[in-house]
Amino acid sequence: MSKIYVLYNPHSGHNTGKQKAEALNAQYDTALTYVDMTTITDYRTFAAALGAEDKLIICGGDGTLNRFVNEIYDLGIENDILYYATGSGNDFLRDFGKSAGSAPMRINDEIKNLPVVTVNGKSYRFINGIGYGLDGYCCEVGDALRLSSEKPVSYTAIAIKGLLSKYKPTNATVTVDGVTREYKKVWIAPTMVGRYYGGGLMPTPGQRREDRTDHVSVGVMHHAGRLHTLLVFPSVSKGGHIKHKSLAAEFQGRRIKVAFDRPVALQIDGETVLGVTEYEVTVDPALLSQEPAAELLLSGKA
């Protein structure tokens, strides 16, 4: 008899992950088998024990989904994999016009052909985006606040304080498919596979998730002073900052490298990496042998 395994992250949604996952009981007539994801030490062994008709429901936020995808990416799991969001940002789900509490959606096709980011000598697949600069700083500060308090973290407040005084912008070089540009006073330089990160921000409004087999997009906010950047930054929620051509740019490509002139924090789907001077993103290496359409090699919006 087939089973439905609910793999939940108890720490998601400000440590409400198990409680939120158990809401699935009301959506299914059959008994669900709950598994705390933090207790799984070997996904290969776990996958080998699955029956052919068994299903998996992954419960957590974007960081949880990122870690799961990286654990199982090369295991060849053919079982249905569904996602039920119990996190706080839920940007992956937002790309499909859904929100936390929506019925579990099948994601087998959506977690294929994901790009690879290499940072500090390690490589990871990612589902939403790489944040580098102010966005990485926000995750770094947020992590520290969670260790010292149980109160919900306000990333908006962290960002405002960073823009006003706390965060120091960097100089950067951005290389897209071999073409390098240099920028002064860079605030953010993310690379995206989907439209959203940071709880609904759109740093590269031209990117779509279905584009990922052809290209990813890098966005840069640069050169402006603190007050100007603070005034424009709210428009990132709709992608409107790109209209400010003197301080924002967006480029598409298959290989993107961003280097800063000092180490800063970086975030991968909300997971923080400290002390980063550069990162490199590549469209799924298995697809690089395919010749991209010429117009996708470099279509800058400056």
In this structure, are strands 191-192 and 129-132 parallel, antiparallel, or unpaired?
antiparallel
pLDDT at 155: 85
Say whether domain 4-106 belongs to CATH 3.40.50.10330: yes
- List Cβ neighbours of 245 (8 Å cut-off, separation of 6 or more): 302
* pLDDT greater than 50 at residue 176: yes
Segment among 7-11, 220-224, 284-288 with least mean pLDDT: 284-288
User: pTM for the complete prediction?
Assistant: 0.91
Say whether domain 116-296 belongs to CATH 3.90.1150.10: no
In the chain, pLDDT over 90 holds for what percent of residues?
Answer: 84
Give CATH 3.40.50.10330 domain extents, the chain. 4-106
The pair of structure tokens assigned to 3 is: 């089973």
Give CATH 2.60.200.40 domain extents, the chain. 116-296
| Amino acid found at 118 | T
pLDDT digits (tens, 9 = 90+) for 52-70: 999 999 999 999 999 999 9
pLDDT digits (tens, 9 = 90+) for 116-150: 999 999 999 999 999 999 999 999 999 999 888 87
* pLDDT greater than 50 at residue 180: yes
Q: How many helices (H) and strands (E) in the chain?
A: 8, 15
pLDDT at 94: 93
Give whole-number Cα distances, 251 to 192, 206, 281, 295, 296, in Å: 11, 9, 13, 12, 9
Give whole-number Cα distances, 103 to 65, 89, 268, in Å: 16, 17, 26
Average of per-residue pLDDT values in the chain? 92
pLDDT at 126: 97
